[in-house]
Structure 1
Amino acid sequence: MRIAMWSGPRNLSTAMMYSFGARADCSVMDEPFYAAYLKATGLDHPMRDAVLAAQEQDPQKVPEGFAPSGTPHLYMKHMAQHMIAGFPLDWAEGCVNIHLIRHPARVIASYAEKREAPTLADIGFDKQVALYERLGGLVVDSADIRANPEGMLRALCAAIDLSFDPAMLQWPAGPKPDDGVWAPHWYGAIHKSTGFAGPEGPLPEVEGANRDVLDAALPYYEHLHALRLKV
């Protein structure tokens, strides 16, 4: 089974990659289109040069690396915003597609701590809806996973016809061999974890220009949230 997990940034996506990576029957892949996205857009992201050096930059060649790698299942963590016009998607039609969402107020507040002044294009909610409309699949909300990790993971596994493995609920602290080269900048908090964090508190206040981004992202989030998998 090839699983394509579509997410935006700051959205429990790395924890989910660690969760599936804790299974003995699953290998994982961390944002394989990142270098191609940076090359095509020219965006100045943290550790840009290291990312470009570490990954294939031609988007048409990236899916050539999506072959089985010694385990029955391959879990691919993808960022929805990376899939800009002209990037291939036909490879995903044969995958189990899952769309991971998080309330945009939380995404914006977290993203702004690492890279200021996020735009709608940076956080990818419009792209997530477009991917869902093209590929279908399941929607899961990170808030539901944090509130009930075992229940949601059992439901998710059942929905994709994959046996649940209790190993998915914990992982060792620290960096992982499959982390992208950008991990030192983005993964500080997750590297301190050994499992899913508990429920989050009240929504953060989002002000100024970030409020405009929130207002633009919210309808996309609400559309997908209404379709989410429930226990």
Structure 2
Amino acid sequence: MEEKTAEESSSPTQVRVMLWFIPRTLSTAITKCLSFVDGIQIIFEPYLYAYYYGPERKQTGVSEMYDNFLDKTNDAVTDKVDLAKGFIPDTCTYDWVKQTLEADYPGKKIVFCKDASYTLDGQYDRLPQGYRHTFIIRHPYKLYTSWRRLVQRFLQLQEPFYWHELPEPIRPAKYGLEEHYELYQYLINHGMNPIIIDADDLQRHPESIMRKYCAAVGIPFTEDLLQWPSGDDILHTWMAPDGLIQGNKLGNEGGFYDVALQSTCFGPPRETPSRASLREDVRYMSDASMPFYEKMYNHRIKP
């Protein structure tokens, strides 16, 4: 697949950026931060939506637990929330996502999409042309501890349970980080030069990392990107799944995005837990994923 350069995209001056993420890596906070850049169009998780809800949605490992997972998230999707530029399950195929990302956005200086790399599901021919690809990573001990906690709360699972033994796609087949690395390596092999940032680096050195990230992809940096208003009003400027974001408040402690949407800045990182302190399944997934994290970490933007 040949990728268009920024100069070959629909507008010769329009910057287009993909931020590939794994859940619990600060990607929504980054997206909210960049939402206040003048002339930006945010497109929020279209591949993830196709993967879980569209006509080509992932079906492997179907079980009662997975049906429960879909029922809960469908409740969120059908919540009565009006996002002006939302998209709906019936039309959200992978080809539709590609066409939407490649569409013209008149009057916009920047098109920025964030999406989960594992939900591309290896369909690299569905990657959009004309984009600068970037990745965010996080130490596996933190990533899987946080992700497991979210899944447990969301599905109301009682201990003991072993997350790595749950059916796909409640957890990715290769636990997310390996899929992340595979997409990164694919882009490298096809002549692209993806940018990587690490979540801990971003929290410890937000100005340095955001300044370098913006310079690398062509987004203008100002110090206004280091602090933003709390709340979710900015969502109404996004192109996002109808109801998925604001309808995500499931469980006693909120949903997937609440912390990021209520944030006002990149706060300091939490201490990385020791390997010995991890739950058995978190340790298993971390050990399996650590080599891919380390390979990407070695190529990250440094403060």
**Structure 2, unaligned runs of 5 or more:** 1-14, 60-65, 79-86, 153-162, 165-170, 188-192, 249-254
SS at match of 1:189: helix
**Are 1:54 and 2:110 counterparts?**
no
Deviation at 1:110, TM superposition (A): 0.9
Deviation at 1:96, TM superposition (A): 0.6
SS at match of 1:47: helix
Deviation at 1:85, TM superposition (A): 3.4
**Are 1:173 and 2:246 counterparts?**
no
SS at match of 1:41: coil
Contact in 2 for aligned 1:7/1:100 (Cα 8 Å): yes
**Are 1:63 and 2:80 counterparts?**
no
SS at match of 1:98: strand
Q: In the alignment, residue 158 of structure 1 is paired with which amino acid?
A: A
Q: In the alignment, residue 289 of structure 2 is paired with which amino acid?
A: A
Change in 2 beyond 3 A, CA 1:122/1:109: farther
In 2, Cα distance between the equivalents of 1:122 and 1:215?
12
Moved over 4 A (4+): 49-53
Which string of whole-angstrom CA distances, capped at 9 and with x for unpartnered residues, describes residues 147-180 of structure 1?
Answer: 0111111111222233212222222211222365
Computed over aligned residues only, the root mean square deviation of the Cα atoms, in angstroms, reads 2.3
TM-score, normalisation: structure 2: 0.69
Deviation at 1:123, TM superposition (A): 4.5
In 1, Cα distance between the equivalents of 2:260 and 2:218?
28
Moved more, 43-52 or 33-42: 43-52
- State which of 282, 289, 294 in structure 2 corresponds to 1:217: 289
Deviation at 1:182, TM superposition (A): 3.1
Number of the residue aligned with 2:36: 22
**Structure 1, unaligned runs of 5 or more:** none
Which string of whole-angstrom CA distances, capped at 9 and with x for unpartnered residues, describes residues 194-231 of structure 1?
Answer: 11111322326322122211111111101100111113
Q: In the alignment, residue 19 of structure 2 is paired with which amino acid?
A: M
SS at match of 1:71: coil
Deviation at 1:88, TM superposition (A): 3.7
| Percent identity for Structure 1 against Structure 2 | 25
SS at match of 2:228: coil
Moved more, 39-48 or 170-179: 39-48
Q: In the alignment, residue 88 of structure 2 is paired with which amino acid?
A: A
Q: In the alignment, residue 48 of structure 2 is paired with which amino acid?
A: Y
Contact in 2 for aligned 1:120/1:213 (Cα 8 Å): no
Moved more, 45-54 or 131-140: 45-54
Deviation at 1:113, TM superposition (A): 1.5
Aligned pairs for 1:1-231 within 5 A: 1-39=15-53, 40-42=57-59, 43=66, 44-45=69-70, 46-48=72-74, 50-51=76-77, 54-55=88-89, 56-66=91-101, 67-69=103-105, 70-86=107-123, 88-91=125-128, 93-116=129-152, 117=163, 119=171, 121=173, 123-135=175-187, 136-175=193-232, 176-177=235-236, 178=238, 180=241, 181-183=243-245, 184=248, 185-203=255-273, 205-231=277-303
In 2, Cα distance between the equivalents of 1:106 and 1:151?
22
In 1, Cα distance between the equivalents of 2:49 and 2:26?
21
Deviation at 1:103, TM superposition (A): 0.6
In 1, Cα distance between the equivalents of 2:273 and 2:37?
32
Moved more, 120-129 or 137-146: 120-129
Change in 2 beyond 3 A, CA 1:113/1:173: same
Q: Which has the higher contact order (CA 8 A, sep 6+)?
A: 2
SS at match of 1:22: coil
Moved more, 9-18 or 120-129: 120-129
In 2, Cα distance between the equivalents of 1:62 and 1:47?
20
Deviation at 1:61, TM superposition (A): 1.3
In 2, Cα distance between the equivalents of 1:68 and 1:113?
39
